[in-house]
Amino acid sequence: MKTRSLSVLLLASAAFALGVVVSGPSRDARAQEADAGAPPASGEAIASPPTTSDGIACNEQRPLDYLVRGNWVTKARMPREEIQRRRELAAQAVRFRTEHYGYFEGFGRPEWNAHTPMENAGNTRFMGLHLRVNRAIHPALACVEQAITAQCSATPYRAQRLSGIRDRNTYHNGEVSNHVYGIAIDVDPSVNTCCGCVPPWTDHPLCAQEVSSIFERMQMPECWVRQFERFGFYWLGRDSLQDTMHFEFLADPSQITPAAGTAPTRLAPLDQPWPTPVPARRAAAAAPRRPR
């Protein structure tokens, strides 16, 4: 099918330019990989994908509401109906992640996906560092890397350590970390704090300081956070945990790059203020959880 093979070629060439291998966990994505290896039919022109003025050929996306932790997490003081509504959202979020990224035992149903997230994981590089995450989000990370490289030279930052997929969920409160699905990454946990978590994370000297901006409790620059947020990653610094090291891809993985022949989607800048830093003295008691 011409349209499809053109789209595969465009995706493959965009990914090549981004320095990543396009791959994904679904049967479709694997079929596309096989297609991408075939030479183009003779005489078939390969057009460059249209780009916008910043030259980044990726769709800007927002996280899907029902995947954002703050929208489904429950608290005992909530009305019963609200708790019920949120539990339904949480179940929807588990189903989406299972179908798109793999079945993780104990969450959702095995019939929703024949593979585990670990089977769908692959190695990639991000900002010069090795990272193992779900292959479905490799292109999204390449988009972020391009944007950081293009936009963040005024606030240079060199990441030293990344953490991606994990093979076990360390939570016992019914939540499942996006690290087990391979869609979360932590950037430099030792210098980007989680002051709403439990000790030893709250023992970080920066959590003991009164600050006026959450960015005073981390070394990663605001510009990095903005670029992640452009391409569908949710920054857990916005959550009550204030887990500033942590990003999770919560947008639609099928929309990371534009359809063949169409320009990438551009959205208005996110109109959401940065979170107020957790007060220094109450940081340890704020939310008894580990960084996610």
What are the residues binding Zn ion (CB under 5 A)? 186, 246, 292
Q: What is the nearest approach in angstroms of Zn ion to the Cβ of residue 233?
A: 12
Q: What is the nearest approach in angstroms of Zn ion to the Cβ of residue 165?
A: 11
CB nearer to Zn ion: pick between 199 and 261: 199
Q: What is the nearest approach in angstroms of Zn ion to the Cβ of residue 166?
A: 9
Q: What is the nearest approach in angstroms of Zn ion to the Cβ of residue 112?
A: 24
Residue nearest to Zn ion (CB): 246
CB nearer to Zn ion: pick between 69 and 246: 246
Question: Which residues are CB-neighbours of 111 under 8 A, at least 6 positions away?
Answer: none
DSSP structural state of residue 38 = S
> What is the residue whose two structure tokens read 């939310």?
287
Pair 284, 234: CB distance under 8 Å: no
Q: What is the nearest approach in angstroms of Zn ion to the Cβ of residue 13?
A: 32
CB nearer to Zn ion: pick between 26 and 224: 224
CB nearer to Zn ion: pick between 135 and 246: 246
Q: What is the nearest approach in angstroms of Zn ion to the Cβ of residue 92?
A: 22
- Taking 3-state DSSP, the helix, strand and coil percentages for the chain, each rounded to the nearest 5, stand at 35, 10, 55
CB nearer to Zn ion: pick between 145 and 188: 188
**Which H or E run contains 129?**
strand 129-134
Question: Strand, helix or coil at 218?
Answer: strand
Distance CA 292, CA 289 (A): 8
CB nearer to Zn ion: pick between 186 and 229: 186
Q: What is the nearest approach in angstroms of Zn ion to the Cβ of residue 130?
A: 17
Could you tell me the CA-to-CA distances from 55 to 201, 262, 264 in Å, in that order? 39, 14, 10
Pair 56, 143: CB distance under 8 Å: yes
Closest CA to 150 of 78, 92, 231: 231
Residue 81 has, within 13 A of its CA and on its CB side, a CA count of 0
CB nearer to Zn ion: pick between 181 and 231: 181
Distance CA 12, CA 38 (A): 11
